[in-house]
Amino acid sequence: MTATTDGSTGAALPPRAAAATDTDITTPAAAGVEEAARRAVQRATDFLLARQDAEGWWKGDLETNVTMDAEDLMLRQFLGILDEKTAEAAARFIRGEQREDGTWATFYGGPGDLSTTIEAYVALRLAGDEPDAPHLRRASAWIREQGGVAASRVFTRIWLALFGWWKWEDLPELPPELIYLPRWFPLNIYDFGCWARQTIVPLTIVSAKRPVRPAPFPLDELHVDPDHPNPVKPLAPAASWDGAFERLDKALHALRRVVPRRLRKAAMNTAARWIIERQENDGCWGGIQPPAVYSIIALYLLGYDLQHPVMREGLASLDRFAVWREDGARMIEACQSPVWDTCLATIALVDAGLPADHPQLVKAADWMLGEQVVRPGDWAVRRPGLPPGGWAFEFHNDNYPDIDDTAEVVLALRRVTHHDPERVDRAIERGVRWNLGMQSKNGAWGAFDVDNTSPLPNKLPFCDFGEVIDPPSADVTAHVVEMLAVEGLAHDPRTRRGVKWLLAEQEPDGSWFGRWGVNYIYGTGSVVPALVAAGIPAEHPAIRRAVAWLESVQNDDGGWGEDLRSYKYAEEWRGRGASTASQTAWALMALLAAGERDSEAVERGIRWLADTQKEDGSWDEPYFTGTGFPWDFSINYHLYRQVFPLTALGRYVHGEPFAGGKGS
């Protein structure tokens, strides 16, 4: 490892020749590129088919970082249910993720992250590791060098406050009366993105209660000055947003002392009802781990015992996020992605040439049809008259279907020859109607909500980690536009508004920003096929600029890659990184859609995919190419390395995908 532009000890800025594997791809394949691609398609198809669940779905592991595992242990410690087996299995995984310098990163090859390292350190202490052990000494020394606990994010300090390792009064105030703010009022809960909303509501209860469980050990070694762990910082200028909200936080701290007890109790009970009403059938909240963790803590503080059905099912749902590995390590998924993985796998298999009536594709379609959300959720706050019909990302998440999944499920269902075409048509009609109804006023689409664009939530002192709003993005908008085009709505005024927005969002260099995938390669790989499907000719200047950009960032090994640092240091890292299977596939999907099948860039990319494929038909991809929050929270979708290369290879071999809708 060498120093980077951000001063970390992650991977240095990669040369164009960087490769993701040790495969020598300069050796010509035994046959031509097309024959190599056909063989790769067959192997990848067999690999993917063999991994379908008997119920019809696919799901790869969703790998994030060790804060999921650390917070799971801290939750169990707080509730008094941490057992030795769980602690040791989690510790085994956490230790295995530590870097040589003693830190933990948030993505593969990334720089050490202070908050992640603090939480990992605490978790290992809970599992029994001694502070003078070499691996923990390295970690604590690095933590102090970075400013100690005082420099960590708010969420980390909340976890420490639960055990008295940090003072509640030194945290931003989050009053439960927030639940009463009307929907038109700034900073009401619906101004936050759905993931933030589900986290903030239970945390208002935790903030009001300020619980402290006896700490099993001190953490003085994580402070720069243990006698003064939180040095006073001067307030930002009052005329600035930061200064205004810092002063608001001081006022809320003062208000805490005078809020009538009955009002506070009523607010907490209202927040509790809000939480319980949003618990899913499987016991989780929103299908994601963080809101579930905080909801369980909040309800526990309000007197719900661990045998209460809500609590019992909530804890059971968290156990289902655990992935047990062969070495006995236990990794916690932040979320599970069966709907997303299944629709992408279906698209890949059909585009790779699997017959549209193949029994496994029909089974996948049956499962997806059964997952359609047919009741209103929080999205209906801003679209009260819109009939439901979307799909969520997870196994159970009826409150928060998402626009991206809905678009891709429709594209997948339209590719399958189903034995009940009328059922498919009805489901697609509901999905299309819902997606159209979720269009934001600027003509684009966000992931979960309409016009979730208030700048105020990001200014709160509490919100110092990740995105807390859900504005429209190029990748989601592109997937919706592509779906609408396939459904015969390319010339619909709503589709054209989306196309116009996408054209306006193109970066000067020809790329598009990727909100939910890394990064400009993902954005460009999503937008170009959508624009072409919607009737933008391959000769259009926007398409030509995109092609030129993709060709300019192709690695010397023939693949494409982009490091997550492009979210923070775009000028140095945009489109640059070690070649990966998924990112190479995204670039190829764009180039193929733009009519570049016979170009040298496509030939080199196809050859890279064929030559780096493993014998079993899979690809290795340790790099994180998925995005939860740009830079702050990154994802390695273990199925991305399969479905996207197969899609790209299939489109190279068989041509562009089916582009007609009902009746085509």
Nearest Cα residue to 501 out of 477, 520, 482, 524? 477
DSSP bridge pairs for 402? 391
Q: How far is CA 495 from the centre of its chain?
A: 26
Q: Are 593 and 602 in contact (CB under 8 A)?
A: no
Cα 444 to Cα 501: distance, rounded to the nearest angstrom: 6
Q: 440, 450 in Cβ contact below 8 A? A: yes
Strand ranges (DSSP E) for 166-218?
none
Residue-wise DSSP of 109-123 = TPPB-HHHHHHHHHH
Active-site hit among 69, 72, 398, 404: 404
Q: Is 319 a catalytic residue?
A: no
Burial of residue 232, with CB atoms counted within 10 A of its CB: 0-12 exposed, 13-18 middle, 19 or more buried: exposed
The residue type at 454:
S
Answer for the pair 561, 579: CB distance below 8 angstroms, yes or no. Answer: yes
Both tokens of 78, joined, read 């707080």
Angstrom distance (rounded) from CA 325 to CA 306: 28
Find out whether 203 and 294 touch, Cβ atoms under 8 Å: yes
Would the CA dihedral through 293, 295, 298, 300 be positive or negative?
A: negative
Tokens of 123: 């978790």
Query: Which among 326, 407, 335, 409 is positioned nearest to 367, based on CA atoms?
Result: 409
Under 8 Å between Cβ of 117 and 104: yes
Between CA 82 and CA 91 the distance in angstroms is 12
User: Of the candidates 568, 586, 565, which has an alpha carbon nearest to the alpha carbon of residue 576?
Assistant: 565
- What's the rounded Cα separation, in Å, for the pair 583 and 602? 13
DSSP label at 7? S
- Which is nearest to 77 in space by CA: 121, 115, 122, 120? 122
Query: What region does 100 belong to: left with phi over 0, alpha with psi -120 to 50, or beta?
Result: alpha
Most distant CA atoms of the chain, gap in Å: 79
Beta carbons of 164 and 215 less than 8 angstroms apart: yes
CB 447 within 8 A of CB 402: yes
The 10 Å CB-count burial string (b at 16+, else e) for 42-65 is: ebbbebbbeebeeebbbbbebbbb
Give a three-class secondary structure readout of 226-263: CCCCCCCCCCCCCCCHHHHHHHHHHHHHHHHCCCCHHH
What H or E segment, with its residue span, contains residue 628?
Answer: strand 626-629
Distance, in Å, from the CA atom of 79 to the CA atom of 213, rounded to the nearest integer, reads: 9
User: At a CB cut-off of 8 Å and minimum separation 6, what does 75 contact?
Assistant: 293, 296, 297, 318
Tally of residues, the chain:
664
Backbone angles phi, psi at 446, to 5 degrees: -90, -170
Output b/e per residue, 4-18; b: 16+ Cβ within 10 A. Answer: beeebbbbeebeeeb
Residues marked as catalytic: 404
